[in-house]
Amino acid sequence: MNVYSIHRRGRRRSFNVPAARPSAASLLFIVLALAVGCGGGPPKAAPTAPPAPSTQPAPSRQSGPAAPPQAPTQTTPPTPAATAAGLLAGLSRLIDQRGAAAQAPPAPAQGKILERTLAETFSKAEIDDLEQRFFVYGNYLPAEYAVDWYHLRFTSQDRNGAPLQMVGQLFVPRAEGKEFPLYVFGPGTTGLKDECAPSHEEPTERNWGDFEAHLLSYAAQGYVAVMPDYAGNPATGLQYYYIAEMHARTMLDAARAGLRFSQDQPPPGTAKAANAVFFAGYSQGGHASYAARDFAASYAPELHVKGAIGYGPRGQVYTMLFEAPYLAPYLFYSYAQVYGSDKVPFRELLVPTVTRSLDEDMATKCIDEVPYYYGDYSPWILQPDLDDAVDHNRLDKEFPVLKQLMDSNDVGRAQSDIPVLILQGLSDTLVTPQTQQAFVQKLCSNGAKVTFDTYDGIPHVLTRQVSYRDVLAWMDAIQQGRPPRVDCGR
Domain at 127, CATH number = 3.40.50.1820
> Residue 386 domain-assigned?
yes
Q: What is the pLDDT of residue 266?
A: 84
Mean pLDDT over residues 290-313, rounded? Answer: 98
- Domain end (from 407, 426, 456): 407
Structure-model confidence comparison of residues 15 and 322, the more confident one = 322
Q: Residue 138: which pLDDT band, with cuts at 50, 70 and 90?
A: confident
Residues 124 and 192 in one domain: yes
Q: How far is CA 125 from CA 8, 132, 143, 216, in A?
A: 63, 11, 8, 12
Mean pLDDT of 208-216: 96
Res. 31: pLDDT tops 90: no
**Are 436 and 288 members of one domain?**
yes
Whether residue 305 sits in one domain with residue 336? no
* pLDDT interval class at 86 (50, 70, 90): low
374 and 284, same structural domain? no
Is residue 35 a part of any domain in this protein?
Answer: no
* Coil, helix or strand at residue 224: strand
Confidence of residue 18 (pLDDT cuts 50, 70, 90): very low
Determine the pLDDT at residue 136. 85
pLDDT score of 57: 38
- For residues 431 and 357, state if they share a domain: no
- Together in a domain, 241 and 337: no
At residue 7, does pLDDT exceed 70?
Answer: no
Whether 39 maps to a domain, the answer reads no
Provide, rounded to the nearest whole percent, the portion of the chain with pLDDT above 70: 78
Same domain membership, residue 445 and residue 367 = no
The better pLDDT of the pair 435, 235 is held by 435
Domain of residue 325, CATH code: 1.10.260.160
Strand 163-173 versus strand 179-186 pairing type:
unpaired
Residues 6+ apart with CB under 8 A from 401: 343, 344
Mean pLDDT of the chain: 84
Of 378, 407, 436, the one marking the end of a domain is 407
Q: Quick one: pLDDT band at residue 15, thresholds 50, 70, 90?
A: very low
465-486 pLDDT, tens digit per residue, is: 999 999 999 999 999 999 999 9
- Look at residue 60 and tell me if it is in a domain: no
HSE-up of 282 (CA within 13 Å, CB side)? 27
Residue 332 lies in a domain: yes
**What string of DSSP letters covers 251-285?**
HHHHHHHHHHHHHSSPPTT-PEEEEEEEEEEETHH
335-364 confidence digits (pLDDT tens): 999 999 999 999 999 999 999 999 999 999
CA distances from 43 to 69, 81, 83, 87, 393 (A): 29, 12, 13, 19, 94
Same-domain check for residues 214 and 337: no
pLDDT above 90: percentage of residues in the chain? 72
Residue 23 lies in a domain: no
Element (H, E) at 444: helix 433-445
Average pLDDT over residues 305-318: 98
The answer on 443 and 333 residing in a single domain is: no
Is residue 249 domain-shared with residue 378, that is, in the same domain?
Answer: no
For the segment 422-430, the average pLDDT, to the nearest whole number, is 98
3-state secondary structure 155-204: EEECCCCCEEEEEEEEEEECCCCCEEEEEEEECCCCCCCHHHCHHHCECC
The predicted pLDDT at position 107 comes to: 64
* Intra-chain end-to-end CA distance of the chain, in Å: 60
Q: What is the pLDDT of residue 50?
A: 38
pLDDT for position 482: 96
Domain boundary among 346, 376, 407: 407
Enclosing H/E stretch for 214: helix 211-219
Q: How far, in Å, CA of 85 to CA of 91, rounded?
A: 10
- For residue 255, is it within any domain? yes
**Least confident among 20-24, 118-122, 328-332, 447-451:** 20-24
- pLDDT tens column, 43-69: 334 433 434 433 333 333 333 333 444
The total of other beta-carbon atoms located within 10 Å of residue 473's CB is 11
Band the pLDDT of 333: cuts 50, 70, 90.
very high
Same domain, 146 and 268: yes
- For residue 151, pLDDT beyond 70: yes
Q: Give the Cβ contact number of residue 338 at 10 Å.
A: 17
- The parent domain of residue 374 ranges over 319-407
What letter would DSSP give residue 334? Answer: H
In a domain, 50, yes or no: no
Considering the domain architecture, whether residues 120 and 213 belong to the same structural domain is answered as yes
Confidence of residue 105 (pLDDT cuts 50, 70, 90): low
User: What pLDDT is attached to residue 134?
Assistant: 94
Q: In this structure, are residues 335 and 451 in contact, taking their beta carbons and an 8 Å threshold?
A: no
Per the structure, the count of domains in the chain is: 2
pTM reported for the whole predicted model: 0.79
Q: What is the pLDDT of residues 193-207, one digit of tens each?
A: 999 999 999 988 889
Among 78-92, 371-385, 422-436, 465-479, the minimum mean pLDDT is found in: 78-92
pLDDT at 91 over 70: no
| Average pLDDT of the residues in 314-324 | 98
